[in-house]
Structure 1
Amino acid sequence: MFDIWIQELNNNGLCKHERELFLHKIPYMAASAYKIDPLFKQPGIYLWGCDDIPRYIGKTERSFKKRLFNRYIPRKCGTTCKSPTQCGISEILRDYYESSQLNVFRTTFEKNKKMTKEQIEKDLTITIRSYERLYGALDFSQFEKENIWFAILPFEDTNKKFIDIFETLFIHSAQNYNDKKRYPELLNKGKMDIDKDESSIF
């Protein structure tokens, strides 16, 4: 099912109108114009991507609006927030550091998350709420912000109980897709290993 979804997204391209929210890639920089749409009130699965590369599969059992605008999409006050969102952090990183330094941070993050986070917070005088948020921001910072998008797959409230299952299936499928295309690993590929460990208990 993920392969069908990503194929539709690639074929349809970027959303240019609110009528195109479903099965289109939504540029995060344009997202604020669409957040009052009823689709954003629904729960479901979301995908973040850069260019044609899937980067992250996530879920929300509440609403896309609450999840996406609280964690990812920059607030109206822009990148000057003391505690910016993931995309807000990526914008600040891109503006403040040379690409070579960002590459160093991506490497050091894998070895010492705490040190990397503290160094960036000190340099930029911001608070980064989680390692996951910084990890995603460091990844996004290697792409032009105009090429970063997300897509939503809404669920009816009566089907919310299936969201966890679909998230797991989509993470596996998206990683397989990236492997076939020789794209970078999915940011939350590690969830596949957690699922394997949990299943081995039974």
Structure 2
Amino acid sequence: MFTGIIECTTKVYKFNFYKKNLYITFINPFSYEIKINQSICHNGICFTIIHVNEKTYSVIASEETLFRTNLNFLKIKDEINLERGLMMGERLNGHIVQGHVDTTAKILKIENRNGSWLFFFKSKKKLTTKVVEKGSIAINGISLTIITCNQYTFSVSIIPYTYKKTNISFLKVGDIVNVEFDILGKYISKYIINYNDMFILK
């Protein structure tokens, strides 16, 4: 489990396909603080470490992960947001993030608001029951608050700290990002749909 509060960024060192899986190696910013089998959120994707040394570490992306995320656009030296798993007893400063990407979204517009930035996105999936204004959403693993939303588009505001601390400052119009909807909203949405189906059947 994660909170969407990015610890640092790293760069893609190398990657290669083996059958339908993608093996990715990143530069290690944590030295020996991480270990094999540990989970780290990369741009909103929860990966398990399979190899680690002082300079690099490696993970595997399955076919399902490649289908759900923006990994097909990955390039060497890409800047990646990182967050290690939440430790028990810590404050939940963002929102509950699982690291299970729901869909991707394209950046439609970026507005400089003289001290902050407004990012506008178009989701690959319909958003009707997934997002609400002032609700939480994770973009490339970053916990953000939704400003506006409709069936397919939504916007978020980025403060200077987030802009400098994460890879969002490297993004441009047309780029594809990973999106994870609020898990609480997804459970409530599913409950309501199932309840309505039961009521109709009766």
Report the TM-score when normalising by structure 2. 0.35
**Higher RCO structure (Cα 8 Å, ≥6 apart):** 1
TM-score (norm 1): 0.35
More strand by share: 2
